Structure 1
């Protein structure tokens, strides 16, 4: 009897899961966004000192509703526990580093159901610029998918938040690279939306008048036009740091990014 009951439970669970997947796909195809984003059996909270770092140093968090703040804290706590933080060249990994780096990842994935980014396992932190063995040059930051590591110069990471509307943010830039690769390797709803949106974004950029307007505007820095991957990382910096200007200057691209990241909060 016990075995039979277990079999029934397993079968019912499989049927419910399949039903959910069908509904999720139908909703995705109809509305171009996930059926839901936040669902937690038990929400985690941050220690008071870690929460204070968010309140004092992360303005995006303060723009969220009370409900969304609790979700944000839960995700930051989970992200910190999921990743290995490594200090190099004398860089001590303290709560400030963990919270601000995790908060950057959580901010960018806040419209996505899966936010832990399987393509990232380690966060390596140097005090300043470091020598990259990949490109044989000094770097401020890099994403190394071969070893699933994001690497930051802490000095330059902090400078990215010192001026919040200059469209220069190392953390946002490198995490965008990781999210981009994650979308190519994962088959979840958010990844499909992101990948499809990126393809549509590339089609927009093939229009000569659009590309010329972007270059002439001086709104995006020149590095954006290095290749398609750097383009995305740069425009996301602009999207996060100066959304009102972005919406005015390039509304079609703004709304495509908003759809890709499912940003429906904090005034975006």
Structure 2
């Protein structure tokens, strides 16, 4: 009897081992196939795969429908994916109020929708470097440089900090290429792409390198950028501010961007994997 039990246990363990090995083989085979696809097409093999789709409540959905123009540009299927990601993002982050600010569903939805919009072409949309979102009613004093800020991203604290007044102002005029939420989330996504090794982070990081090479190698492109005044002067502070400003322009005035600087526009589109909403 003991012998039979040992034999049966050995068979079970062998079966488990074979299943584990098969799963590992399938995983690495998929990774190999996808990397070949990424090298050729500069985008993930797929973005959306969910066992079930989370849904916004009626109040949250009305916020998107009435206050977030990007959402309106999506197809019916894309809207369902977008809503799922907004719900998931809200649940994943801690929203913290400061100076008497009261956290509302409107704030959670619009701030999360901004992050989801920028990462809608990504497979991993959570932006792991952010664990909390701190909301002030207006510009706040920052000990980072002893000055008042409208927004900032602190990777050490994994905190994105926003002035709600200035966040709203960014969406009040949707074609002035000034959007605090887009700007600060871009900083977080940029730094997150340097840290992470998921396929979307790799594409983002590699595309930014290609953009940098393009700017340095294309005759007269840098000079034409500064002379055009299409991008505000703050873009030329450093590479991080440049990218944040460029993506503000990409989101808010895509037609102008495509017309003025088609090569740069193409690289940003590749970086974000934007193939929806008319971009």
Same fold? TM cut 0.5: yes
Match of residue 71 from structure 1: 81
Distance 2:35 2:222 in 1: 33
Structure 1, unpaired ranges of 5+: none
Distance 2:119 2:231 in 1: 22
Counterpart of 2:220 in 1: which secondary structure?
A: helix
- Alignment of 1:27 with 2:43, yes or no, is no
Show the 5 A alignment for 1:212-227.
Answer: 212-227=223-238
Q: CA offset at residue 9 of structure 1?
A: 2.4
- Map Cα deviations across residues 70-124 of structure 1 (whole Å, 9 max, x no partner): 0000000000000000000001011001000000000000000000011000100
Match of residue 135 from structure 1: 145
Given the two structures, how large is their TM-score scaled by the length of structure 1?
0.98
**Larger CA Rg, structure 1 vs 2:** 2
Match of residue 8 from structure 2: none
Distance 1:182 1:54 in 2: 26
Counterpart of 1:181 in 2: which secondary structure?
A: helix
Q: CA offset at residue 208 of structure 1?
A: 6.0
Equivalent of 1:250, from 261, 269, 278?
261
Distance 1:3 1:42 in 2: 32
Show the 5 A alignment for 1:174-253.
Answer: 174-206=184-216, 207=218, 209-253=220-264
Distance 1:8 1:74 in 2: 36
Distance 2:164 2:123 in 1: 28
Distance 1:102 1:136 in 2: 28
Runs (4+) of structure 1 moved beyond 2 Å? 1-9, 204-208
Q: CA offset at residue 242 of structure 1?
A: 0.2
Structure 2, unpaired ranges of 5+: 1-10
Q: CA offset at residue 2 of structure 1?
A: 3.8
More displaced 10-residue stretch of structure 1: 66-75 or 190-199 = 190-199
- Alignment of 1:88 with 2:98, yes or no, is yes
- Map Cα deviations across residues 173-202 of structure 1 (whole Å, 9 max, x no partner): 000000000110111111111111111111
Counterpart of 1:152 in 2: which secondary structure?
A: strand
Match of residue 108 from structure 2: 98
More displaced 10-residue stretch of structure 1: 147-156 or 2-11 = 2-11
Match of residue 4 from structure 2: none
RMSD: 1.0
